[in-house]
Amino acid sequence: MKNLQEFLNTKGENLKVDGVVGRFTLDALDRYIQAECIKRKWYTHGNGLVWIRTDNTFSNKFDDFVAVYKGHRIVYAAPASTTAGDFYVYNPLTVNGITGTAVAVEQQVNNSHKFVSGANWSNLWLGAPYFQQVAPIEIYRDGNKNNQVDKVTKQKGLYGINFHRAGVGNLVNKWSAGCQTVPDAYWFEIVKRFNPGDVIAFTLICTS
């Protein structure tokens, strides 16, 4: 997992790299996200999740980040993966006649994901609350298996690019075929902050 403070320091911050994601780090992350949204002419968030892809590789690791906004303020941040795990990189799916691993394109799509939860989590998909894709988004289909995200073949639609848990290990593996994922220890902190039926945007910032 990449260190969030080290990442932000490469973007002009001067944070102490101690691994403690406290208010100073969250405020620095907010400054970075706000600046990136302004550059892209995107709106800034009141409530929801913002994903940050830190490179263009299929690393099979949680080396991206997600920020949780509530009331126009970041209240939590966690390591994440915005790319598929090794299994689906080397065993890509075929959808609409195109074979390739799904990779979300950098974008902001309003009202794209709905929070699904319930009293008995074991009955839910993957046994945990998640955000279900409910509006079309853009993806790349990358089928050359070279571990680099190729921005060539695009599709737009409903492909089940959900936001969800990713288990207790340090590798993505089969947990994602293109979804945005977060290790369990962080995911269950994130879902505490949302209510069943909440609909949020998909905002993905790519740094390269």
The ranges assigned to domains in the chain are 4-206
Predicted confidence at residue 88, as pLDDT, reads: 96
pLDDT one-digit tens code per residue, 50-103:
999 999 999 999 999 999 999 999 999 999 999 999 999 999 999 988 999 999
pLDDT one-digit tens code per residue, 119-132:
888 899 999 999 99
- Rounded to two decimals, the pTM is 0.96
Q: How confident is the model at residue 2 (pLDDT cuts 50, 70, 90)?
A: confident
pLDDT one-digit tens code per residue, 174-188:
999 999 999 999 999
3-class secondary structure for the chain? CCCHHHHHHCCCCCCCCCCCCCHHHHHHHHHHHHHHHHHHCCCCCCCEEEEEECCCECCCECCEEEEEEECCEEEEEEEEECCCCHHHHHCCCEECCEECEEEECCEEEEEEEEEECCCCHHHCHHHCCEEEECCCEEEEEECCCCCECCCCCEEEECCCCCEEECCCCCECHHHCCCCEEECHHHHHHHHHHCCCCCEEEEEEEECC
